Structure 1
Amino acid sequence: VFERVGEVTLSFYRQLIDLDIVGGIFQGDDWGFRSATFLSPKDLEDFVFPWHEKLCALAHEKGKSYFLHSCGNIYGVFDAFLERVPIDAFHSFQDEILPVTEFVKRYGQKVAALGGVDLDKLIRLPEADLRRYVRSILEACALQGGFALGSGNSIANYVPLEQYLVMLDEGLRFWG
């Protein structure tokens, strides 16, 4: 199964990577639960990492970026992954697993952080609290470089538009 999915994915990107409108590869590959990875570290290293190595190499050979999205607590294998796969950026953050501010402290010199506003907080916080929360992320992450403000995961249809706009507005206010 891993072989077939990897071959199809690599073939797909090989057909697209030379297009001028393609700036890189953003590979979504959820690896975990809140508590740990779905697969053992050995299985990830044996069956999953090699395909990311190939995809990342393809992007970099063409002068383009390679981004990884993965939900779940993957930090038990993340260092080993980064040793093999020099991704340019990572997306998907949940504060209860690893807040983006901690990710930037730990990995910010190697990997850009995309997003970081925890989806639960984006949905539930009152406006003033949401603004303070977003501002705290910006103050901890944005000035160091390698950070793009956004949600910690995909914006689903149950995210109130007003809350999303508050997040964006706070980003605009931060940058003046």
Structure 2
Amino acid sequence: LKSCGVNAIHPIEPQAMDIRELKEKYGDTFCLIGNVDVDLLSRGSREQVIERVKYLIEEIAPGGGYCLGSGNSVPEYAVPENFAAMVETARELGEY
């Protein structure tokens, strides 16, 4: 992928890919994008979303090469309060 000019991987769906393993293997080669489960955004609680975002920022973001986002897209059926919780937590804990 790198030889083709790819410099980021998205989506990274938590049900299909282990982001910690990807970070260990490819974190110095590719920017990793996503990993907040779409199902969590649409059916999870606000607290579950906050916990997932905290995990990603505290465990995956250090060292760079990570961009917080959904594991795929943000569907119309996502709960607006959950999406807002993802953004608010990222702003609170993230570095820019």
TM-score, with structure 1 as normaliser: 0.49
Query: Is residue 31–residue 65 contact of structure 2 (8 Å, CA) maintained in 1?
Result: yes
Counterpart among 76, 90, 112 of residue 9 in structure 2: 90
Counterpart among 101, 114, 121 of residue 33 in structure 2: 114
Q: Distance in 2 between matches of 1:83 and 1:170?
A: 31
Match of 1:105 in 2: 24
Change (3 A) 1:121 1:106: farther
Q: What are the superposed Cα offsets for residues 2-48 of structure 1, whole Å, 9 maximum, x if unpaired?
A: xxxxxxxxxxxxxxxxxxxxxxxxxxxxxxxxxxxxxxxxxxxxxxx
Higher helix share: 1
Q: Does 1:160 align with 2:79?
A: yes
Q: Does 1:127 align with 2:46?
A: yes
Match of 2:65 in 1: 146
Q: What are the superposed Cα offsets for residues 105-152 of structure 1, whole Å, 9 maximum, x if unpaired?
A: 221111001222111122222111221111001112212111111111
Q: What are the superposed Cα offsets for residues 86-108 of structure 1, whole Å, 9 maximum, x if unpaired?
A: 41111112112113333222211
What stretches of structure 2 of length at least 5 have no aligned partner?
none
- Structure 1 stretches of 4+ moved >6 Å: none
Q: Distance in 2 between matches of 1:172 and 1:83?
A: 30
Change (3 A) 1:83 1:162: closer
Counterpart among 42, 46, 55 of residue 136 in structure 1: 55
What stretches of structure 1 of length at least 5 have no aligned partner?
1-81
Q: CA RMSD in A?
A: 1.7
Name the count of aligned residue pairs: 95
Q: Identity over aligned residues, as a percent?
A: 27
Rg larger in structure:
1
Give 3-state SS (helix, strand or coil) of 1:143's partner.
coil
Give 3-state SS (helix, strand or coil) of 2:62's partner.
helix
Higher relative contact order (CA 8 A, sep 6+): 2
